[in-house]
Amino acid sequence: MPDVHVSLDTSVNPPVVTCDPPHLQMDRGTAPINWLPAENQDFTFASLTELPTSIFGTPTVTDGEITVTDNNQNNGPVIVYPYTLCVSYGNPSQTCCTGSGVGGNPGDPTVDNK
């Protein structure tokens, strides 16, 4: 079960959300993907958007984890799916997201179905 570790850097302005690995390579078949906080993180998950539900289903979002199931039926070449992941932090609560997702910059996180 692949895990993506999410970090929030509030020492920069604006804050930055990053995913590790930023480009998750997925083999053909059905497998769950979990997004989890990296070590020493203080945020809750807010949303995961822009992954097509026909392939990934509807994300399950809890404070401490986001899960989808990748039904990868691709026979190549690689299909790249950018996504946007948002976290909430602070008091009062603020939301910070990864890049702008579909149509965004090349630094946006992706699921790459091989």
Q: Which residues contact 102 (CB under 8 A, 6 or more apart)?
A: 50, 82
Residue 34, domain CATH: 2.60.40
Determine the structural domain holding residue 87 and report its residue range.
3-113
User: Does the pLDDT at position 47 exceed 90?
Assistant: yes
pLDDT digit string, tens, across residues 49-98: 999 999 999 999 999 999 999 999 999 899 999 999 999 999 999 999 99
Looking only at the bridges linking them, the beta strands covering 110-113 and 3-9 are: unpaired
pLDDT, average across residues 36-61: 97
pLDDT, average across residues 21-29: 97
C-alpha 66: how far from chain center: 8
Looking only at the bridges linking them, the beta strands covering 65-72 and 3-9 are: unpaired
pTM of the entire predicted model: 0.93
The residue among 59, 77, 69, 67 whose CA lies nearest residue 113 is: 77
Report the C-alpha gap between 10 and 87 in whole angstroms.
Answer: 12
Yes or no: say if 50 and 59 are a contact pair by the CB < 8 Å rule. Answer: no
